[in-house]
Structures are given as structure tokens and as C-alpha cells.
Amino acid sequence: MSSAPEPRSSQYISFFVGGDELALDILRAREIVEITAITRVPRMPQAVLGVLNLRGRVIPVIDLAVRLGLPASVITRRSCILIVETEFDGELTRMGLFIDAVGDVVDLDAAAIEPPPPFGTRARQGQLVGLGKVGERLLLLLDIDRILSPEELFAAASLEAEGGARAALPGAPPQGEPAGAGSS
């Protein structure tokens, strides 16, 4: 039985990462911005490119390809940053997703959404809400809260390098405290 959350909206914004078409609930997308200066922050997990200043607000930027276990994204003329809201400790926080290109807004009714497959996708099953069927295309519908959770980011980072320091992302556990410690 899947523990994926039920889709909250019937509209999704699609985008491309590593040759795959993905989508997320349009209610979580805030804006699309051009690639701009991203300030690297030392000792961050590999998927965290750094932070950007968006109208005076500091926004962490995640390379979604790396987060999904793919090779790092390369900047092209279609590359952009999708600003999304994700939940950290019960509060909505804005983060940027470095993506290859934006697709379009897709309407999906419940009959067009299949449960996540147990195999064959680049995202782990717990990171998916389901598969959306749009004509002959299939969209991987991402659970953005799960993909961008501090626990998931730091679990991936611990696989990258043993003993690395934890980064100061919103909701990140304090230095020396294991991911997930103190939360119930």
C-alpha cells in the first residue's frame, strides 16, 4: 500500500530534468526565474547549489537532477529556476529548483493519475504522488515536500561523504545531531 499523499489540485506544472518530464502541484509553484548568480555555501549537500537573492529574500537552490540521482544539470538557454513552496516543520518555505526547462500547465483528473510504480523511475517511490497520463505522455508527479525535506537531503549527503557537516537549510538538524533526531 502506498503512503503517497493524495494530489491536492487537478493542475500541475510540468518541467524537464535529465530528459524526463516531471510535474508538481501548481499550488506549490510560486514563480519561474532566470538563472542568476547563485552563491555557493560551503559544506552543503551536493544537490544544494547554493543560495540566490530574489528581491531581498535568500532562497536555497537545489539541482533537482542531482537530488534525483542523475548527473548534475548543465546550464542551457532554456534552464531556469522554479521557485516552490515546501513545508518545513509546519511552515511553508520557498526554495528554488534548478531545472532544464519548463513545460506547461497540465489538467489531470483523478482517473488520469495512476499510483507510483514500484520500479523503473529515477525518483524513489516515496518521492512520487503518482504517474499522470496526458495523451500518450506520462508525467512523474513529484511529492515536493518529501524530495526537499531536510531529512531526505541530508540522508543523500551522508551517502555522498561520510562525516560531512550538516548544512544550514531551513529545518536542518543542528550540527552533530542525526537527521530526523528531535522530530516526532
The neighbour count for residue 22, using CB atoms within 10 Å, is 25
State the cell numbers at 56: 531581498
pLDDT at residue 119, rounded to an integer: 64
Contact 116, 81 (CB under 8 A): no
* Three-state DSSP state, 129: strand
pLDDT of 120: 53
Q: How many CB atoms lie within 10 A of CB 118?
A: 8
Q: Among the residues of 23-103, which ranges form H helices? A: 64-67
What are the cell numbers at 118?
A: 514500484
Residues 6+ apart with CB under 8 A from 85: 28, 30, 92, 93, 94, 95
Q: Where in the chain are the domains?
A: 9-158
pTM of the prediction?
0.76
3-class DSSP state of 159: helix
In this predicted structure, the answer to whether residue 60 has a pLDDT above a threshold of 90 is yes
Q: Quick check: 121 pLDDT over 60?
A: no
- Architecture category of domain 9-158 in CATH: Beta Barrel (2.40)
